[in-house]
Amino acid sequence: MTNESGPPATQPFLGIESSCDETAAALLDGNGRILAEAVFSQTESHARFGGVVPEIAARAHLGRLPPLVRGVLREAGVEPRDLAGVAATAGPGLIGGLVVGATFAKGLALGAGIPFLGINHLEAHALTARLPGLFPEPPAFPYLLLLLSGGHCQCVAVHGLGRYERLGTTLDDAVGEAFDKSAKLMGLPWPGGPHLERLAAEGDARAVSLPRPMLGREGCDFSFSGLKTAVAQAVSRGHRHADIAAAFQASVAAVLADRARRAHSMLPGATALVVAGGVAANRAVRAALEAATPLRLLAPPVRLCTDNAVMVAWAGLERFRAGQRDAVALAPRPRWPMAELQPPAG
């Protein structure tokens, strides 16, 4: 990683995302306005296996990424040499997909003579709420981030670019994983989150008693494996699936709201509560978080809560403006905690 001072970007900036099972590319102008974006979802390819198969995902990225990037550039009328730079997710994630995306971005950067930046996927989620035009008033530092997805469940204090403090994390399953596994126990298709939410709308949460793990505990850690076990027991006892789904969703929403209140007490100067990740699309979860603290709840549109390239391009642009450039020797990292990130020197 190098940091060189220079003028802010005025040319378009390209972002590439390939950390799991979404192949995505997005183009922003120098002010962060979205010029073009595209996502290829691999859900159909993995659904019959009940989860993401890394080898299948990597092959799909390899085949889909080049035409996807060409299409985004063509839609915006931009040539690679016109770009200010290109950013790609370099971790955390599935190593095969990370290698495909980062290698493609490095090749593009070398061929066009433009800078390359390797982006931390979690940081990209953390910075999405700052995307210009997304909210009437973007959050000022510091703010709280609840990252709620199939692979991650964290509460983070976002103090500034590259300055992140993890306040709590899951002790076992991530919340999105708990949604998917509980949905599977009820015979719902993968990915289970949206199907479980629809089923919950037909149920009565009071009809089934489920635990609310960590509720009222000190700190901001999470635990969902016990809740998943309780769902399995409720299914085996023959409870109505819609009622189980409603009770599960209510339990998760209550726990997340409790953890948000704890997080606010640990960062009383927070300006907002930002929620990201696939579970952020759940309406019951959003409603519980909105009522949990006096903070503004900032939930990006669903397409920007799940894996996408807009957030990668924006994180790259933020770091580019701060003077960061990465060497093409940068190696993708399947594990890359946010605490290891550093603010660009400038």
Identify the CATH number of the domain in which residue 58 sits. 3.30.420.40
Residue 90 and residue 38 share a domain? yes
pLDDT more than 90, % of the chain: 90
Residue 162 and residue 96 share a domain? no
243 is known to lie in a ligand binding site: no
Residue 1 has pLDDT above 60, yes or no: no
Q: Residues with Cβ < 8 Å from 78, sequence gap 6 or more?
A: 12, 27, 35
The whole-angstrom separation of Cα 200 and Cα 198 is: 5
Question: Does 54 map to a domain?
Answer: yes
151 is known to lie in a ligand binding site: yes
Residue 5 has pLDDT above 80, yes or no: no
Residue 51 confidence (pLDDT): 87
Residue 327 and residue 264 share a domain? no
Residue 67 and residue 158 share a domain? no
At 84-101, the pLDDT tens digits run: 999 999 999 999 999 999
Residue 335 and residue 227 share a domain? no
Residue 258 and residue 156 share a domain? yes
Q: How many domains does the chain have?
A: 2
Q: What is the mean pLDDT of residues 181-199?
A: 96
pLDDT more than 70, % of the chain: 97
123 is known to lie in a ligand binding site: no
Question: Does 136 map to a domain?
Answer: no
The whole-angstrom separation of Cα 229 and Cα 235 is: 10
At 316-337, the pLDDT tens digits run: 999 999 999 999 999 999 999 9
Residue 151 confidence (pLDDT): 84
Q: What is the mean pLDDT of residues 132-161?
A: 95
pTM of the model: 0.93
150 is known to lie in a ligand binding site: yes
Structure tokens given for 233 = 């027991």
Question: Does 182 map to a domain?
Answer: yes
Q: Please tell me the least confidently modeled range out of 8-17, 186-195, 303-312.
A: 8-17
61 is known to lie in a ligand binding site: no
Question: Does 151 map to a domain?
Answer: yes
Residue 148 and residue 123 share a domain? no
HSE-CB of 147 using CA atoms within 13 angstroms = 27
113 is known to lie in a ligand binding site: no
Q: What is the mean pLDDT of residues 121-131?
A: 96
Q: What is the mean pLDDT of the chain?
A: 94
Domain membership of residue 92 as a residue range: 2-128+305-340
Cα–Cα distances (Å) from 60 to 26, 66, 206, 272, 338, in that order, read 18, 11, 43, 37, 27
241 is known to lie in a ligand binding site: no
Residue 194 and residue 273 share a domain? yes
At 243-302, the pLDDT tens digits run: 999 999 999 999 999 999 999 999 999 999 999 998 999 999 999 999 999 999 999 999
Q: Residues with Cβ < 8 Å from 197, sequence gap 6 or more?
A: 245, 249, 282, 283, 284
Residue 317 and residue 294 share a domain? no
193 is known to lie in a ligand binding site: yes
| Higher-scoring residue by pLDDT: 48, 265 | 265
Residue 243 and residue 180 share a domain? yes
147 is known to lie in a ligand binding site: yes
Residue 329 and residue 269 share a domain? no
Confidence of residue 48 (pLDDT cuts 50, 70, 90): confident
Residue 164 and residue 258 share a domain? yes
Residue 346 confidence (pLDDT): 62
125 is known to lie in a ligand binding site: yes
Residue 22 confidence (pLDDT): 93
Question: Does 135 map to a domain?
Answer: no
307 is known to lie in a ligand binding site: yes
225 is known to lie in a ligand binding site: no
Residue 3 has pLDDT above 90, yes or no: no
